[in-house]
Chains A and B, each alone.
Chain A
Amino acid sequence: MEVITKAKKLEEMIQNTPFIFFKCRNEHPRWPVDFITDNISLLGYHPDEFYRGLLLDDLMFEEDKERVSKETIENIHSGIDNFVLEYRFYPKRGEPIWVEHHFQVERDSFGEVSMFHGVLHDINPRKQAEISLQQSELKYQLLVNNSSVGILYIKNDGLILDANPTMISILGLKSLEELKNINIFDSQPLIQSGISDAFRFSLEKYQTRTFEHPYASKWGKQIFLNYTIIPIYSKDNEFLGAEAIVEDITRRKLAENQIQQSRDYLDKIINAIPDPIFVKDRDHKWVLLNDAFCNFIGYPRESLLGKGDEDFFLPEEVDIFVQNDNLVFETGNENLNEERITDSQNNIHYTLTKKTLYIDPHNGEKLLVGVIRDITKRKRIEEELLKNERLLTKVTESAHDVIILIDSKNRIIYSNQTINRVFGYNSDEILNKTVFDLVPYYDFSTLDSIAPKSYKSEGNKKGGVKFPVEITWSAVIFDEQPHYLGMIRDRTEKVKLEQMLEKELEKLKRLLELDSFLLNINELDLIIDTVLVTITAGSGFRFNRGFILLEDDPSGFLKGVSAIGPADPGEAGRIYHNLASQNLSLADLIQNHHENRDVYDQRVKDLVKKIYLNPKEDKFFNIIFSKKIIIETKKDNLYPDSYIISLLNNDDLVFIPLIVNDGVIGIIIVDNYITRRSIPDEDLELLQLYANRVASAVQKAKLHKALNLEISKTKEANIQITQINNRLIQTEKMAAMGEITSEIAHEIRNPLVSIGGFARALARSIDPEDKNRELLNIIIDESQRLENILSNVLSYARGNRVIAERRSITEAINQAIKLLEYHKQEKNLDLISNFEEPFLQDYDYEKMIQVFFNLIKNAMQASEKDGKIEISVQKIHQRAVIRIKDYGSGIKTEHLDSIFNPFFTTKSQGIGLGLSIVKQIINNHGGEINFITEEGQGTEFITTMALNNNLN
Chain B
Amino acid sequence: MKSKILIADDERNIRLLYRTEFEHEGYEVELAENGMECLKKIETFKPDLVILDIRMPGIDGLETLNQILGKNNVLPVIINSAYSAYKDNFMSWSADAYIVKSSDLTELKEKVKELLSESN
27 contacts between A and B (CB under 8 A): A746-B82, A746-B83, A749-B82, A749-B101, A750-B14, A752-B103, A753-B14, A753-B17, A753-B82, A753-B101, A754-B16, A754-B17, A757-B14, A757-B17, A758-B13, A759-B103, A760-B103, A761-B20, A764-B24, A783-B103, A784-B104, A791-B100, A794-B84, A798-B84, A799-B88, A801-B88, A803-B88
Alpha-carbon distance A255/B14, docked complex (angstroms): 163
Contact with A along B81-114 (1 / 0, CB 8 A): 0111100100000000000111111000000000
B-facing residues in A736-780 (Cβ within 8 Å): 746, 749-761, 764, 780
A751/B21 in contact, CB under 8 A: no
Known: A750-B11, A750-B14, A751-B13. A757 touches B82 (CB 8 A): no
With a cutoff of 8 Å between Cβ atoms, the chain B residues found around residue A795 in the complex are 84
Chain B residue with Cβ nearest A780: B103
Partner of A755, one of B24, B82, B103: B103
Task: Give the complex CA separation of A146 and B17 in angstroms.
Answer: 174
Q: Is the CB of A787 closer than 8 A to any CB of chain B?
A: yes
The chain B residue sitting closest to A750, CB to CB, is B11
Residues of chain A contacted by B24 (CB below 8 angstroms)? 761, 764
Q: How far is B103's CA from A750's CA once the two chains are assembled, in angstroms?
A: 9
**17 additional contacts (CB under 8 A) given A750-B14, A787-B102:** A746-B82, A749-B101, A750-B13, A753-B17, A754-B13, A754-B16, A756-B104, A757-B14, A757-B21, A761-B17, A761-B21, A764-B24, A794-B83, A794-B84, A794-B85, A798-B85, A799-B85
Residue of A nearest to B53 (CB): A750
Contact code string B55-80 (vs A, CB < 8 Å = 1, else 0): 00000000000000000000000000
Which chain A residue has the least Cβ–Cβ distance from B100?
A791
Bin the interface of chain B by size. Answer: 10 to 19
Min CB gap B56→A, angstroms: 12
CB distance from A454 to the nearest CB of B (A): 114
Distance of A87 Cα from B114 Cα, bound (Å): 169
The dominant DSSP class at the A interface is helix
A755 CA to B11 CA, complexed, in Å:
13
Chain A residues positioned under 8 Å from B103 (CB to CB): 752-757, 759-760, 780, 783-784, 787
**Chain A contacts of B21 at CB under 8 A?**
757, 761
Q: What A residues does B85 contact at CB under 8 A?
A: 794, 798-799
Complex alpha-carbon distance, A752 and B83, angstroms: 14
B residues less than 8 Å from A803 (CB atoms): 88
Q: B102: which A residues are within 8 A, CB to CB? A: 753, 756, 787
B2-16 contact mask (Cβ, 8 Å, vs A): 1 or 0: 000000000101101
Q: Assess the B11–A757 pair: CB atoms within 8 A.
A: no
Name the distance in Å between A804's Cβ and chain B's nearest Cβ: 14
Residue of A nearest to B103 (CB): A756
A750-B104 contact given A761-B21, A795-B84, A798-B85, CB 8 Å threshold: no
- Nearest residue (CB) in A for B88 is A801
Please provide the 10 A-B residue pairs with the shortest distance between their CB atoms, ordered closest to farther.
Answer: A756-B103, A754-B13, A749-B82, A757-B17, A757-B103, A753-B101, A753-B103, A750-B11, A746-B82, A783-B103
- Cα(A99)–Cα(B13), bound, Å: 177
Contact between B14 and A754, CB atoms less than 8 A apart: yes
State A426–B72 Cα separation when bound (angstroms): 144
Minimum CB–CB distance from A762 to chain B (whole Å) comes to 10
- Determine how close the nearest CB of chain A comes to the CB of B42; give it in whole angstroms: 23
Output the nearest chain B residue to A755 by Cβ-Cβ distance. Answer: B103
* Chain A 794-838 interface 0/1 with B at a Cβ cutoff of 8 Å (1 = within): 110011010100000000000000000000000000000000000
A758 proximity list for chain B (CB < 8 A): 13, 17, 20
Complex: A416 Cα to B103 Cα, angstroms: 135
Other-chain residue from A752, A755, A757 in contact with B105 (beta carbon distance below 8 A) = A757
Interfacial chain B residues near A752, Cβ < 8 Å = 103
Closest Cβ–Cβ distance, residue A109 to chain B (whole Å):
151
How far is A780 from B100 in the complex, measured between Cα atoms in Å? 17
State whether A750 touches B17 (Cβ < 8 A).
no
Q: Specify which chain A residues have a CB less than 8 angstroms from the CB of B11 in the assembled complex.
A: 750, 754
* Contact residues in A for B104 (Cβ distance below 8 Å): 756, 760, 784
State A283–B24 Cα separation when bound (angstroms).
156
Q: How many whole Å from B116's CB to the nearest CB in chain A?
A: 21
Counting chain B CB atoms within 10 Å of each CB, the highest count among A749, A750, A758 belongs to: A750
Cβ–Cβ contact A750 & B82, under 8 A: yes
CB distance B105 to A760 under 8 Å? yes
- Give complex CA distance A757, B106 in Å: 10
In the assembled complex, which residues on chain A have CB atoms less than 8 Å from the CB atom of B105? 757, 760
For A787, list chain B residues within 8 Å (CB).
102-103
Chain B residue at minimal CB-CB distance from A797:
B85
Give bound CA distance, A746 to B104, whole Å.
17
Q: Complex Cα distance A751/B9, Å?
A: 13
Question: Is B101 within 8 A of A750, CB to CB?
Answer: yes
Across-interface contacts of B82 in A (CB, < 8 A): 746, 749-750, 753
A750 to B101, CA, bound (A): 8
Chain B residues near A756: list those with CB within 8 A.
102-104
Chain B neighbourhood of A753, CB < 8 A: 14, 17, 82, 101-103
Within the complex, the shortest CB–CB distance from B45 to chain A, in Å, comes to 23
**A799 cross-chain contacts in B, Cβ below 8 A:** 85, 88
- What CA separation (Å) do A753 and B85 show in the bound complex? 18
CB distance from A718 to the nearest CB of B (A): 42
In whole angstroms, what is the CA distance A754 to B84 when docked?
18
Bound state CA distance, A710 and B98, in angstroms? 61
Nearest A residue (CB) for B13: A754
B97: min CB distance to chain A, Å: 16
Separation in Å of the A561 CB from the closest CB of chain B?
69
Which residues of chain A come closer than 8 Å to B83, judged between CB atoms? 746, 794
Q: In A438-481, which residues have CB < 8 Å from any B CB?
A: none
A803 to chain B, nearest CB (A): 8
Within the complex, the shortest CB–CB distance from B31 to chain A, in Å, comes to 14
Q: How far is the CB of A418 from chain B (nearest CB, A)?
A: 113
In the bound complex, CA of A660 to CA of B100 (Å): 78
A760 to B109, CA, bound (A): 14
Q: Return the chain B residue nearest A764 by Cβ.
A: B24
A323 to B47, CA, bound (A): 149
CA–CA, A760 and B103, complex, Å: 8
Question: Closest residue of chain B to A756, judged by CB?
Answer: B103
A129: min CB distance to chain B, Å? 141
A800 to chain B minimum Cβ distance, whole angstroms, is 11
Chain A min CB distance to B26 (Å): 14
Question: In the complex, how many angstroms separate the beta carbon of B8 from the nearest chain A beta carbon?
Answer: 14
Q: Which residue of B lies closest to A795 (CB)?
A: B84
Closest to A779 in B: B103
Q: Nearest Cβ distance between residue A738 and chain B, in whole angstroms?
A: 14
**Residue on A nearest B21 in the bound complex, by CB:** A761
What residue in chain B is nearest A801 (Cβ atoms)?
A: B88
Q: How far is the CA of A829 from the CA of B113 in the complex (A)?
A: 38
Roughly how many angstroms separate A8 CA and B47 CA in the complex, as a whole number? 165
Which chain B residues border A760 with CB–CB below 8 Å?
103-105
A86 vs B108: C-alpha distance when bound (angstroms): 168
> CA–CA, A803 to B90, complex, Å?
13
How distant is the Cα of A752 from the Cα of B103 in the complex, in angstroms?
Answer: 7
Closest A residue, CB atoms, query B82: A749
| CB nearest neighbor in A for B18 | A757
Cα distance A839–B73 in the bound complex, in angstroms? 40
**Alpha-carbon gap, A455 to B11, bound state (A):** 130
Closest B residue by C-beta to A790:
B82
Tell me, in angstroms, the Cα distance from A752 to B14 when the chains sit together: 10
A743 to B24, CA, bound (A): 33
State A761–B23 Cα separation when bound (angstroms).
12
A787 to B21 alpha-carbon distance, docked (Å): 19
Which chain B residues (13-50) contact chain A, with CB distance < 8 Å? 13-14, 16-17, 20-21, 24
Q: In the complex, what's the smallest C-beta–C-beta distance from A592 to chain B, in angstroms?
A: 81
Q: Report Cα–Cα, A514/B53, bound state, in Å.
A: 94
Closest chain B residue to A745, Cβ basis? B82
